[in-house]
Amino acid sequence: MAAMGYRRVLVAGGAGFIGSHLCDRLLADGAEVLCVDNFYSSTRSNIHHLLGNPRFELLRHDITFPLYVEVDEIYNLACPASPVFYQRDPVQTTKTSVIGSINLLGLAKRTGATILLASTSEVYGDPAVHPQTEDYWGNVNPIGPRSCYDEGKRCAETLFFDYRRQHDMPIKVVRIFNTYGPRMQPDDGRVVSNFVVQALNGNQLTVYGDGDQTRSFCFVDDLIDGLMAMMRTPRAVTGPINLGNPSEISVGYLAEQVMSMVGSTAGVIYEDLPTDDPRQRRPDISQAQEVLGWRPTVPLADGLARTVAWFRDNQA
């Protein structure tokens, strides 16, 4: 613990969409937060409101380079997560997950910190098992355009578990499914942000494929509860544990919901489905419910309303 008795928490990727919400909540929880970010796919505006907080510190740093700081807990959320950003420099994407994790694991080993990896539902690839349980090994293309992200995260998971086996370290791995909410990047190409921005601007909503593909969308506040609950678990709990909302909807249905919420009459336009776009995705969250006592509580309509309000005030 730090001199003042605060819990010192490093959030790698702390200026990102999920990272910045985590910083907010950790500060509210009484922690001292060291936010580390290279601002590759994140923005200063996400954490601007925290800069005056004496328990908040911002460090511009790329985790593919070593970092020497003293901390009690580490959340590794650093990696561009949307295809537009992670495919722009795919080699760097793999490096961020793999070398970045090695550096943070090394830091955890030296300091004795508990370290949590924000892994992803992408480790299941285009799943042949539905809904996805943690013991499913996945159906991932190792050489496709999504591989830098998917395989990078899979290797990061390998590293976490090998550090655990080799050095007996307290590790936590969560697999995050589609998450949405305020502070999504308007240009990151994710379906929720695309649809909301398009609807607010009176444009047609771009539905890829026939819109029958499914996803399960978790509001960011729920996800943060899950991340913090995982960090609080006893040492024996390592995961991997799925975190997401099991209520599954089609992309076409999402488009209708967003249009009716915004009051848009522009309709949809159908575009090509991206390569390796999974047909369906829904987390099995039995483990999260049993081990963490966690499940999402924010209904899609409420979460979308808050997201639309934020984009209306800040971005669109």
For residue 172, give the H/E element and its range. Answer: strand 171-176
Binding mask 96-125 for ligand UDP (x = CB under 6 A): ------------------------------
Q: How many residues bind ligand UDP (CB under 6 A)?
A: 15
The one among 55, 154, 172, 190 contacting ligand UDP by CB under 6 A: 190
40 carries an active-site annotation: no
Q: Is 299 one of the binding residues for ligand UDP (CB under 6 A)?
A: no
From 40, 149, 163, 180, active-site residue: 149
Q: Of 18-26, 136-144, 270-278, 300-308, which segment contacts ligand UDP by CB under 6 A?
A: 270-278
Neighbouring C-beta atoms of residue 75, cutoff 10 Å: 30
The least distance separating ligand UDP from the CB of residue 67, rounded to whole angstroms, comes to 28
Q: Is 256 one of the binding residues for ligand UDP (CB under 6 A)?
A: no
The one among 42, 178, 185, 287 contacting ligand UDP by CB under 6 A: 178
The one among 35, 215, 225, 227 contacting ligand UDP by CB under 6 A: 215
Q: Is 191 one of the binding residues for ligand UDP (CB under 6 A)?
A: yes
Decide: 61 and 74 in contact? Cβ < 8 Å: no
Q: Which one, 104 or 140, has the nearer CB to ligand UDP?
A: 140
The one among 6, 136, 208, 253 contacting ligand UDP by CB under 6 A: 208
Q: Which one, 172 or 215, has the nearer CB to ligand UDP?
A: 215
Decide: 35 and 55 in contact? Cβ < 8 Å: no
The one among 64, 133, 141, 206 contacting ligand UDP by CB under 6 A: 206
The one among 96, 101, 213, 245 contacting ligand UDP by CB under 6 A: 213
Q: Of 6-14, 56-64, 200-208, 220-228, which segment contacts ligand UDP by CB under 6 A?
A: 200-208
Catalytic residues, by residue number, are 149
Query: Which positions lie near ligand UDP, rule CB under 6 A?
Result: 83, 178, 189-191, 194, 206-208, 213, 215, 251, 273-274, 277
